[in-house]
Chains A and B, each alone.
Chain A
C-alpha cells in the first residue's frame, strides 16, 4: 500500500477550453523507501501535476490520496508543513530573509519538535555544500544553484515523509547533482522517505527506482 496514490487524476486550467486537459486519467502510486522520477517534455504538465500532489491546486477529476485519505478532506497547511517537503522549480525562498532564516522558518512552521534548529539548519546546509558564511546572506545575494540547494535543505529540515522536487538539479553541475542525488538516495534507503523528482536529466532517471512519463 503506497503512501501517496493518484486515482484517475485529470486537470484543466480554468481559463482553458472545456475539453483541453493538461492531462487525464493519471494513476500513479508512490511508496516509502523508494525514489521516483516524473519525466516529460516541457509543457507536458509536470509542474501542474506536482501542484496537485502538494495540494496547491485541486484536481478537476479524480483524487489524490495520502495514506488512503483524500487531500480534499485534509488540512492542507498541515499537510504541506509537516508531511511533505517541496523543492520548487523556481525555489520559492523568501528574498528578504537570510538563507538560514528561510530554513529555520520552515522548521518553525512545521511545529515538529527539533531541538537545536540553528545547528540542524547549518548541518543541512553543509550537506548540500553551503558554508556558514553563505547561510547568513540574504537569498538574493546567492546564485541560482545556491538558492536551489537552500530550497532542498529547507524541504528536508522538518523531516517530512515525502520529498517532492521540481527539477532540483536543473541549475547544478554534474558534481553537485550527484551529491544531491546521494542525499536523496540515503533518505529513501536509510530513512524510508518517499522521493519524487521531476526531471529531464538522464543521470537522475538512472538513479531512481521508478520512472513515470507524462505524455501529451
Chain B
C-alpha cells in the first residue's frame, strides 16, 4: 500500500517531469487511437466484404488439356473423336452430388435449355425466309455435288453430317449416301429461345451484379412453376406486358408450354459493343431450374447445359473440395475455378490502408518507446539519490521497481484516457478521409441489388429472397462506431506494455545500483 502512496507523492512533487511525460503519452495515445480505429474499420470493411461476397467455385472445361491430347493428321482423327466423346457432360445429378459437401455453404446452378415458339418472334439481326427452288437435273455428265447440312445450330455433340453423291451415268441414277462421323465440339442449344433455369436467387449473378435489371414487374417467385422474366427487347418486339402469357414449343416433340411473364428486364451490360440491333440477352428467358427439369422429363433428348456454382465455406477448403470432386468422379478435363483472386483484388485497397495504419502504429510505438526510455534514463539519473535513500531504509529492489512503474502507469493511464478521447474526435475525419471510397461503395451496392430484382420499394422481402449481400448485411455508414471497447482495450494493453518496456531503464538501474555508492556520490 505504501508503495502506491509513495507513487502518488512522487507524482505530485515532480509536476514538471510528469507533465512532459504525460504530453508525450497523450500524443501517442491519440495517434494510436486514430490508427487503431482506422485499422479496425478497415478490418471490418474487409470482413464485411468477405461476409457478403462468397468464394464461389465454378466448374469449367479445360480446353488446353484436351488440346494437348489432340493430334493432327488423318490417322489421329478417330482417336480425337473418341477422346472427346468420352468426356461426359455434367448432369443435374452430378451437380447435386457435388453440391452435397461439408466444404460448401451452399450451391446453386443455372440449368439451361432452349425452345422454339410459333407465336413469339425471335429478336435477331438476321432473318431467314424460304425461297422456292425448283431444280430439274437432266444432265448426262458426271457431276459431284457436296450437299452439306453442317449448320452449326443443328449439330449436336457428335451430330452426323452427311455427304451425298449424285452420280448420273448413262441415265441410270444411283444415289449413294454415306454418313460420316463428325467432330463438333459446339454444344450449342438448338432452339430460338434460351431458357435459363435458376436454382435460386443466388444463382442470378447477372441480376445481383446489375448487368440485368428488372424494369417492369418483378423477378419470378416460384422456381418450379411456369413463370418467367423476359428481356425488354423481346417484350417490345412482341408487345408483351407483365402478366401476359407466352407459349414456347419443343422443336422435336412439338409440345407447347405456357409461361406467365412476371417481369421484364433490361440488359445494362455494355460488353457487346458491336453494332447489332439486339443484345445477346435478347432471347434469354429467366425461369426456375425445376421448370427445365420438367421439360427434360418430357423429352430426354432436349439439349441442356448446366452451370453450377459452389459456395465455399472458406478459403481453406478449396483444395479439399477439389479433391472431393475428383473422388466423386469429376472428369479430369474439368477444373474447379474460384473467384478468390477477384475477391482479394477487391479488398486490396482497404488492405493497403490497413497495412499503412499498422505500419504507422508500429513506428509511432517504436519512437514512443525510445522517447519514453530516454526520459526514464534521465529520470533515474536525477533520482539516483532518492533510490539510494529508499534502499538504505530497507525498501527492497522489487518494491522500488514497482513503485517507479506505478508512477509511470498512473500518469500513462490518465493521459491515455485523455489521448483516447482526442483520438476519438480525430479518428472520424481522418478515417473518413482514408476509407471514404470503400465505405461509399459498400453502402450503395446493397441498395442497388434490390433494385435490380425489381423490389426497390418493397421493404418486406419474401422469405426465400435470400440473396447474399441483401438485407442480411448491414452497410457500414460511418466509422465512429469502431472506436469501441476493443480499441480502448487494445490501447490500454499497448499503453501498459509501453510503460513497462520504457520502465526497463529504471528496473535495470535499480537492480545495479549499490545504495552506498549512490549516497557517496552526492556527498
Contact = CB atoms under 8 A, between A and B. Distances in A.
A82 B2 contact: no
Contact of B392 (A56, A95, A97, A110): A56
B77 to A, nearest CB: 99
Given A77-B394, A96-B10, A110-B394, A105 B519 contact: no
Given A97-B13, A108-B5, A90 B522 contact: yes
B394 A105 contact: no
A80 B515 CA distance: 12
B396 interface: yes
B6 interface: yes
A81 B395 contact: yes
Given A80-B392, A81-B394, A108-B5, A57 B516 contact: yes
B519 A101 contact: no
Contacts of A109: 2, 393-395
Nearest to B396: A77
Given A57-B516, A94-B386, A89 B395 contact: no
Contact of B393 (A81, A89, A95): A81
Contact of B2 (A86, A90, A95, A108): A108
B6 to A, nearest CB: 7
A134 interface: no
Interface string A23-65: 0000000000000000000000000000100101100000000
A106 interface: yes
Given A78-B394, A92-B392, A106-B393, A56 B515 contact: yes
B14 interface: yes
A77 B522 CA distance: 22
Interface in A79-123: 79-82, 86, 88-90, 92-97, 101, 105-106, 108-110
A96 B393 contact: no
A80 to B, nearest CB: 4
Contacts, number: 61
Interface string A157-186: 000000000000000000000000000000
B475 to A, nearest CB: 57
B383 to A, nearest CB: 9
Interface in B112-149: none
Main DSSP-derived SS at the B contact region: helix
B393 A51 contact: no
A199 B293 CA distance: 114
Interface string B1-45: 110011001100110000000000000000000000000000000
Contact of A77 (B1, B6, B10, B395): B395
B388 interface: yes
B470 interface: no
- Count chain A CB atoms within 10 A of each CB in B394, B395, B522 and give the residue with the most: B394
B471 interface: no
Contacts of A51: 516
B385 to A, nearest CB: 8
B523 interface: yes
B389 interface: yes
Contacts of B396: 77
A105 B522 contact: no
Contacts of B13: 96-97
Interface in B391-419: 392-396
A101 B9 CA distance: 9
Interface residues of A, number: 28
A96 B395 contact: no
A113 B494 CA distance: 40
Nearest to A82: B394
Given A51-B516, A56-B515, A90-B522, A105 B14 contact: no
Nearest to A89: B523
A92 B389 contact: yes
Nearest to A86: B392
- Count chain B CB atoms within 10 A of each CB in A76, A79, A82, A96 and give the residue with the most: A96
Nearest to A108: B2
A92 B519 contact: yes
A105 B523 contact: no
Interface in B470-521: 514-516, 519
A180 B518 CA distance: 28
A96 B388 CA distance: 14
A77 B10 CA distance: 21
B372 to A, nearest CB: 22
Contacts of B519: 88, 90, 92
A105 B2 contact: yes
Given A92-B519, A94-B386, A96-B386, A105 B393 contact: yes
A156 to B, nearest CB: 13
B117 to A, nearest CB: 99
- Count chain B CB atoms within 10 A of each CB in A56, A79, A106, A154 and give the residue with the most: A56
B352 to A, nearest CB: 51
Contacts of B395: 77, 81, 109
Nearest to A56: B516
Contacts of B394: 76-82, 109-110
16 contacts: A82-B394, A86-B393, A89-B523, A90-B522, A90-B523, A92-B389, A92-B393, A92-B519, A93-B389, A94-B389, A96-B9, A96-B386, A97-B13, A105-B2, A109-B394, A110-B394
Given A56-B514, A108-B5, 14 more contacts: A51-B516, A57-B514, A78-B394, A79-B394, A80-B392, A80-B394, A86-B392, A86-B393, A90-B519, A90-B522, A92-B392, A95-B386, A96-B10, A96-B13
Interface of A: 51, 54, 56-57, 76-82, 86, 88-90, 92-97, 101, 105-106, 108-110, 154
Interface of B: 1-2, 5-6, 9-10, 13-14, 385-386, 388-390, 392-396, 514-516, 519, 522-523
